[in-house]
Amino acid sequence: MNTRKKAVFNWSGGKDSALALYKVLQQKQFDVVALLTTVNEETELSSMHAIPHSLLLKQAESIGIPLYPVFLPKNLPIYEQRMKDAANHFKAQGVEHFIFGDIYLSDVRKYREDRLHPLGIEVVEPLWNQNSHEVMQDFLASGIKTKIIVTDASKLGEAFIGQDISATLIDLMPEEVDVCGENGEYHTFAYAGGLFKTPVDFNLMETRKLSYEFKLDNGEEKTYHYWQAIFAD
């Protein structure tokens, strides 16, 4: 008899996500029925890391858990409704836990809890409140392979794009950079080792410097510059 609790894992495709799922699968407390991910319906790239939908499918196939993509427009009210619909879809199947790979962004966790608790779904965070250096040591010990695919251009230069995360690479990062990139310094694509049964086949075609403008709470406008790896089709 399966006594494990049904859960959905919220999958970004990056290293913290991969490490959190790896730990969950090892502990056998949860029966993970799906990897939920958000995808821009226009570009078919993941909302968080700009990973192609086709590669998210390959990751899920290698891990052995079905991908459940939620296709989203840029419109925030529609985003919230579609995420609520997805949560209700799984709730109807007996899922009462949504698992995430956050480490210490409390405002993000509160946002998730405020929206999921009213639906009767508990937020689970396997890496929560751990020291970034400890998380990185766990990650390196897991054997999961991951490449940097996005960097905040003000924190990490173009040379970091396409590099595999390793102890050597971490030592090259400036002191003010969180080693796990928890403040958005960098994002990654996990592709082999650990929870992956076979390596995910992919190629990075080029690196582009991109930017977008945003408003702070005080109304001040700022521009965010970042380096982005472009995946080959």
pTM of the model: 0.94
Q: What is the CATH number of domain 146-231?
A: 3.90.1490.10
* pLDDT at residue 218, rounded to an integer: 84
Over the range 5-26, which residues count as b (16 or more CB within 10 Å of their CB) and which as e? Answer: ebbbbbbbbbbbbbbbbbbbbe
The 10s digit of each residue's pLDDT in 192-218 is 999 999 999 999 999 999 998 888 778
Three-point CA angle 189, 195, 197, nearest 5°: 100
Question: What parts of the chain have a pLDDT lower than 50?
Answer: none
Q: Is 184 helix (H, G, I), strand (E, B) or coil?
A: coil
Taking the CA atoms of residue 79, residue 231, residue 148 and residue 43 in that order, the dihedral angle to the nearest 10 degrees is -10
Domain 5-124 has CATH 3.40.50.300: no
CATH 3.90.1490.10, the chain: domain bounds: 146-231
